[in-house]
Structure 1
Amino acid sequence: MSVHHILLLLIIGYIVFSIDKKQEYFPVPTVLVLIGITLSPISYFANISITKDLIFHVFLPALLFISAYQFPTMAWKKYKYIIGGLGTIGLLLTIAIFGGFVYLIGNLFIQISIIAALLIAAILSPTDPVSVIAILKKSSSDRNTADIVEGESLLNDGTSIVVFGVLLSMLTQGTTFSLSGFVSEFLLVSLGGVAIGIAFGWLMSKAVHYTDHRQYQVMLSIIVAYGSFYLGELMDVSGVLSTVTAGMMLSYEFGKNIKEDHFRDQLDGFWGIIEPTILSIIFLLIGIQSARYLVFSEWQLAILLFLGSLIVRFLVITAMTQFHSTWKTYMSLRECAVIAWTGIKGTMSVALVLGFEAATDKSSEFISIIFVVILLSLVIQSASVYPLVKRLKGS
């Protein structure tokens, strides 16, 4: 991908984001993906591709840091148990149940092992709040749902990667599943990532006081975003959770002192430019890449898996919240339905399916099924969030 390609994608992305600023409701990621699909047949874009490493090591740390740093500290304090439960136990339950569904339904169409079915579930279970948070806030005066969706997404990205890594090694190396081994590996990778993130975020929140130069303060935030991620990966723990925790820790430390507002202003200004820049490139690339997988014979299976993922997510969220006396006060069945519907597949799912394709010998049709489920989620769910929330909340 050349500099000319990047500049052209940025121009398209900035135009779409400019239109978004003037509209009450405009699902930017969905529009960018659809534009990317229309660009794909053009020969100028024929050699453009997106890889797992590009998403995972270049784009993802920045996007995770932005979401974590901007996530309201008060919302985390208020909903930490719901967010923590849905982002960890809830995701594990979703992968287990949806994996069983993929295995049963998938084998009616193609041959699929239970491990491969669970891997597909792990790929399609993490959620991407970028597409829906702004829409949720516009469609309802109640910020609770948006905060829970955003917080859950930050955690379930890290959880899904850990599960995906364990399952992928089982598939490629032929190892057998061990519950005790899985739990120990999961705890080591997850807690290790959180520990690095806490330490990194705290150190950087103190280091920022040693310079009065705004440029250096912004540079320190870049070190937090990428340094915590790469350090986590270097230590064989979750780089995603390291970055998320570091971002939230930095925000928490700044939030303790009102004098830190000028730091926030500088960081918000910088990352407020970086976020739409990254999103413009990544969603256009997702559209261009996914267009190459749309011609295949198992569309019926892809549609069934898309519907199944929604049903399983709704059932898990409902079961975890409606039978808990405290959580039930925050979330009615309507809120459960909204949160289930806004669990849109996005950047993380694309990164995982590309990693899955690179590490296995699965046919292009197999990968196409997963890509189509992601596209259906991005397009259908994003486009219908606004009318759905307005209808369910009666506002």
Structure 2
Amino acid sequence: MRGFQITALLTTLTATFAYLNHRFLKLPPTVGLMLLSLLFSLLLWSSIAVGVDVVTPARQLMDRIDFDVLFLQGILSLLLFAGALFVKVEELLNVKLSIALFAVAGVLVSAGVIGGGFYLLALLLELPVRLEYALLFGAIMSPTDPVAVLPTLRRLGIPDRLNAWIAGEALFNDGIGIVLFLALHAAAVNASAPGVMSVLRTFVIQTAGGLAFGSLLGWLGFLLIKSIDNYRLEILITLALVLGGYSLALLIGVSGPLSMVVAGLFIGGRGRKLAMSEHTRMHLDQFWDLVEKYLNAILFTLIGLELLVLSNRLSLIHLCTGLLVIPVVLLGRFLSVLAVGGLVRMREPFSLKDASIMTWSGLRGAIAIALAMSLPQNEGLHILLVATYIVVLFSILVQGPTLGLLLAQTSSEGGGSHE
């Protein structure tokens, strides 16, 4: 089956699931799509009981979709730009130092706590997981996923300051987390542990380079859009900015995700105010809203269907490990938020309720799965993949839908430092 046919099949399945969810289940789109695609995967498995093996061809089809390449080198750029485009830049600037602390220090603390906890769990269960693998899992689990987080925030209407912390952290910490993952990957998989200076140099080049390159892209896009008044051409310029800019960022060795976030914030803030007519703003928002919703729908359908890929090597110990690691991940997130919150509190109000909301809203999604699937699948690393998949399912199917209940409860109790 060729690329066009695979795309057509995925789009058809996604449209079918989206219709069923909108018509009958009425769940949030990401939850409904993932749930229905999981049920579809289980339905395919049940066909074996009646003597019809449709799982094998379905798994072969899914094997042809290189999820980590498709996401990390394709879909991610569009979704990050679209997410940043709709964020209120002024709110982020008001808490920029706090966002930087959550995005950088928070990821490092979380990776250490989750990695250490996972290693202790592996020792108790007598799993073939080395310390390097456990720390690698910590790096995979530490960044919150803007693809999962931002639509949830827009739907719930979290108070301004807390919304800025969570949204800003989600936009920037994935780039930090990917840099950390790459450094630990070299040590764990290739057995060639980089020195501290080497890791620091990679971090600085990727991070600072991504921020600078994204600013350059945003400024260039701003100048081009400001020089014309044709909404079709202006939309095309933003699309070229994302696809061409992300590809060039990867080519020159800077962080593509950070570049897209900065470019999206630039176009969505300064560009929207000073370079676009009201007519252009309306059409631009409609276009990128459609792109975001379509790609999100495809993405969460794919995540559900990935069960077919994992199913041939699932075992009871894999499932138990995945379930037991959920509280480890939540604890790591909570402790990292508390640690960074102590620093934030020196400048801004920060309460235990804020920490609870930030912990529960720290959703994991496609970024975590894509990073885990990029690893070579020996026994120890396959456990990481299954555990990642189970944590992501819990995050999207449980944390996302219940976040509104937590917000309502904290608001009724006084709301902490919310504005």
- What TM-score does the superposition give when structure 1 sets the normalisation length? 0.90
Distance 1:226 1:98 in 2: 34
Give the SS at the match of 1:107.
helix
Deviation at 1:177, TM superposition (A): 4.2
Which one of 6, 10, 15 corresponds to residue 14 of structure 2? 10
Superposed, 1:203-242 pairs within 5 Å as: 203-242=220-259
Candidates 217, 237, 246, aligned match of 1:200: 217
Q: What's the counterpart of residue 347 of structure 1? A: 366
1:249: Cα distance to partner? 1.8
Q: What code does the residue aligned with 2:280 have? A: F
Which residue of structure 1 lines up, in the alignment, with residue 187 of structure 2? Answer: 170
- Could you tell me which amino acid in structure 1 is paired with residue 105 of structure 2? I
- Distance of 1:287 and 1:77 partners within structure 2: 36
1:261 Cα deviation (Å)? 3.8
What one-letter code is carried by the residue in structure 2 that aligns with 1:36? S
Equivalent residues, number: 390
The equivalent residue for 1:305 is 325
Whole-angstrom CA distance in 2 between matches of 1:117 and 1:66: 33
For residue 316 of structure 2, what is the amino acid of its counterpart? S
Report if aligned partners of 1:145, 1:335 keep a CA contact under 8 Å in 2.
yes
1:133 deviates by 4.3
Distance apart, 1:45 and its partner CA: 4.3
Indicate how the Cα distance of structure 1 residues 319 and 301 shifts in structure 2: closer, same or farther if over 3 A, else same: same
Deviation at 1:146, TM superposition (A): 2.4
User: How far 1:264 sits from its partner (Å)?
Assistant: 2.4
Larger relative contact order (C-alpha < 8 A, sep ≥ 6)? Answer: 1
Task: Report the Cα distance in structure 2 between the residues aligned to 1:258 and 1:53, rounded to whole angstroms.
Answer: 34
Corresponding position: 1:60 with 2:76 = yes
- Preserved contact between residue 75 and residue 295 of structure 2 (Cα < 8 Å): yes
Q: 160-169 or 318-327, which moves further after superposition?
A: 318-327
Contact 1:56 1:351 (C-alpha < 8 Å) held by counterparts: yes
Aligned equivalents of 1:239 and 1:361: distance in 2?
Answer: 31
| Alignment partner, residue 315 of structure 2 | 296
Decide whether aligned partners of structure 1 residues 28 and 174 sit closer, same or farther in structure 2, where only a CA change above 3 A counts: same
Pairing partner for 2:283 from 257, 266, 269:
266
- Segments of 5+ residues of structure 1 without an aligned counterpart are none
State the match for 1:332 in structure 2.
351
> 1:392 maps to what in 2?
410
Cα–Cα, structure 1 residues 290 and 147, in superposed 2: closer, same or farther, change >3 Å? Answer: farther
For the pair 1:285 / 2:302, whether they are aligned, the reply is yes
* Structure 2 counterpart of 1:347, one-letter code: A
Contact residue 296 and residue 365 of structure 1 kept, 8 A: no
Q: Secondary structure at the match of 2:306?
A: helix
Tell me the alpha carbon deviations over residues 38-59 of structure 1, each in whole angstroms, 9 at most, x when there is no partner. Answer: 1124338444424111111221
TM-superposition CA deviations, 1:214-265 (whole Å, max 9, x none) = 2111111111222221111001111111111111122232255385444322
Q: 1:253 to 1:366 in 2, by over 3 A?
A: closer
Tell me which amino acid in the other structure corresponds to 2:342. Answer: Q
Indicate how the Cα distance of structure 1 residues 347 and 393 shifts in structure 2: closer, same or farther if over 3 A, else same: same
Distance 1:221 1:252, change over 3 A: same
Whether the 8 Å CA contact 1:140–1:390 is kept in 2: the answer is no
Aligned to 1:184: 201
Q: CA offsets, 1:83-124, max 9 Å, x none?
A: 111011111111122211112222222021221111111111
1:144 offset after TM fit, Å?
A: 2.6
- 1:327-381 superposed Cα distances (whole Å, 9 cap, x missing partner): 441x3211110011110110111111111246x6746444222211221222221
Determine helix, strand or coil for the equivalent of 2:315: coil
2:396 is equivalent to residue 378 of structure 1: yes
Q: Secondary structure at the match of 1:11?
A: helix
Match of 1:72 in 2: 88
Paired with 2:58 and 2:412, the residues of 1 have a C-alpha distance of 44
Q: Is 1:102 aligned to residue 118 of structure 2?
A: yes
Structure 1 distance, partners of 2:371, 2:274, is 39
The one-character-per-residue Cα deviations of 1:163-183 (angstroms, maximum 9, x if unpaired) are: 111111222321124222211
Say if 2:80 and 2:260, in contact at 8 Å, map to a contact too: yes
What is the TM-score of this pair, normalised by structure 2?
0.86
What is the aligned partner in structure 1 of residue 37 from structure 2? 36
